[in-house]
Amino acid sequence: MSMEKINVNIQSEIGELEAVIIHTPGPEVENMTPENAARALYSDILNLSVALPEYNEFKAVLEKVARVFDVKDLLNDILRNEKVKASLISRICKHESTEEACSLIGSLSDEDLASQLIEGAEMRKDTLTKYLDNERFSLHPLPNFFFTRDASFSMNDKVMISHMASKVRERETLIMEAIFDYHPAFSTQTVNPVKRFDKSGKGTIEGGDVLIARDDIYLSGISGRTSSQGIDALLEYLKTKPGTKHLILQELPYQPESFIHLDMVFTFLDKDKCMIFEPLIMHSSRHLTIHIVIEDNTVLQIREEKNMLDALKKLGMDLEPVLCGGKRDTYIMEREQWQSGANFFAIAPGKVIGYGRNTYTMDALNQHGYEIIKAKDVIRNKVDLANYSKYVITIEGDELSRGGGGARCMTMPISRKAVDW
């Protein structure tokens, strides 16, 4: 791989994708049991032998259009540096506070260390207390890591390090921070807005909630995963940037769990189109839409808006919504939203990836002029993407979607071309 540094540059959700980080799910997914699944934030257990071929198809499509980096390879690379390795281990030990895990991971080879930091380290049952302990791992696995969107997110030329709502995911943020701070492939600075600006101790923010509409317009969910205090920390960070910035916020219900992040109910498809879960985005009177205007380092105003589309339209982004689950039936909308039917990832304006299983959503896209193309056909070169101006590449996601996320959740874009607005 040529070592020409990649400048982190994300000014939109739809600019042509140049580079992206993913994490191929591995043994950490198999290390879940019904007992620890809930703690790992899952409502179900994934079958890796079914999920992996689906995931590899997704990865192969991304490799056709952009440079693709895998977390585990990047982690392997930085662990070769003894200083980086020592500092990462000590930070993880401070968080995990299991002495045994620390002495264990300190003695591993770099490759084994990279694996166990993600897949978990088994507890040595060498005392009576440990023998009687039901816990299998002294360092728990990270089964959510293939949703690389959450632990860090690119904003303009910086990488924001998230502060996760659940402690079981905190190690993901430490790993991503070390990768961006030390890997020679990337030129950027990391910012941890919650650590830097939150004095309340209640700040949480996750990448699935934050969308970059334009280089001066940011969207975020106020959710079970991203607190108002976390958004206030982001607000403080935005104040350090010159000019006028807009933050449009959408309150999300805490139930059902499929509303975990904003990108589960709203994603960008094109310069003039977005995918929405209509009952919440257009018709919920219970969940506020709030618009914050920041001028240089001052909050000029905070006001309520009718809905997100209305707020964006006032700022010159007139988006036509495509409805998750189609127009006809709220039950279908709810079923497809549950299966990540609103969670699309754009590889260029009007060119997106999503789960093929959401057939009503696919019909709705097709009616808006999107060619439906199977991932398999792209990988086997049966289809030339250059022949289509608008398309959706469908990935098989019968098993993957049970993890509770879609194509946007599984990607951490680090560089996109500018959009010609």
Question: CATH for 26-86+141-416?
Answer: 3.75.10.10
C-alpha dihedral sign at 337, 341, 345, 346: negative
Average pLDDT of the residues in 277-283: 94
pLDDT (0 to 100) of residue 37: 58
Higher pLDDT, 398 or 60: 60
pLDDT (0 to 100) of residue 140: 86
Checking if the pLDDT of 149 tops 90, the result is yes
Checking if the pLDDT of 307 tops 70, the result is yes
User: Do 206 and 148 contact (CB within 8 A), yes or no?
Assistant: no
Average pLDDT of the residues in 25-40: 73
Reported as type and span, the H/E element at residue 20 is: strand 17-22
- The pLDDT-based confidence of 137 (bands split at 50, 70, 90) is confident
Q: How many CB atoms lie within 10 A of CB 50?
A: 14
Higher pLDDT, 92 or 159: 159
Residue 211 φ/ψ region, left for φ over 0, alpha for ψ in the -120 to 50 degree band, beta for the rest: beta
Residue 42 tokens read as 């899952």
Round to whole Å and give the CA distance between 332 and 224. Answer: 24
Checking if the pLDDT of 63 tops 90, the result is yes
Residue 405 φ/ψ region, left for φ over 0, alpha for ψ in the -120 to 50 degree band, beta for the rest: beta
pLDDT (0 to 100) of residue 44: 64
Average pLDDT of the residues in 42-47: 69
Round to whole Å and give the CA distance between 290 and 277. Answer: 18
pLDDT (0 to 100) of residue 244: 97
pLDDT (0 to 100) of residue 1: 45
Helices (H), 211-295: 228-239, 278-281
Q: Write the DSSP symbol of residue 331.
A: H
Average pLDDT of the residues in 244-261: 91
Nearest to 249 by CA among 261, 240, 241, 237: 261
Average pLDDT of the residues in 138-151: 92
Q: What is the mean pLDDT of the chain?
A: 92
Domain residue spans of the chain: 26-86+141-416
- The pLDDT-based confidence of 42 (bands split at 50, 70, 90) is low
Checking if the pLDDT of 284 tops 80, the result is yes
Round to whole Å and give the CA distance between 315 and 317. Answer: 6
Reported as type and span, the H/E element at residue 293 is: strand 289-295
pLDDT tens readout for residues 85-116: 999 998 998 887 667 777 777 788 888 999 99
Round to whole Å and give the CA distance between 43 and 27. Answer: 18
Average pLDDT of the residues in 140-150: 93
Average pLDDT of the residues in 133-146: 86
Contacts of 283 (CB under 8 A, 6+ apart): none
Residue 409 φ/ψ region, left for φ over 0, alpha for ψ in the -120 to 50 degree band, beta for the rest: alpha
Q: Rounded to a whole number, what is the distance in angstroms from the first to the last CA of the chain?
A: 33
pLDDT (0 to 100) of residue 36: 61
pLDDT (0 to 100) of residue 368: 98
pLDDT (0 to 100) of residue 95: 82
pLDDT tens readout for residues 330-375: 999 999 999 999 999 999 999 999 999 999 999 999 999 999 999 9
The per-type count for the chain, helices as H runs and strands as E runs, is 16, 22
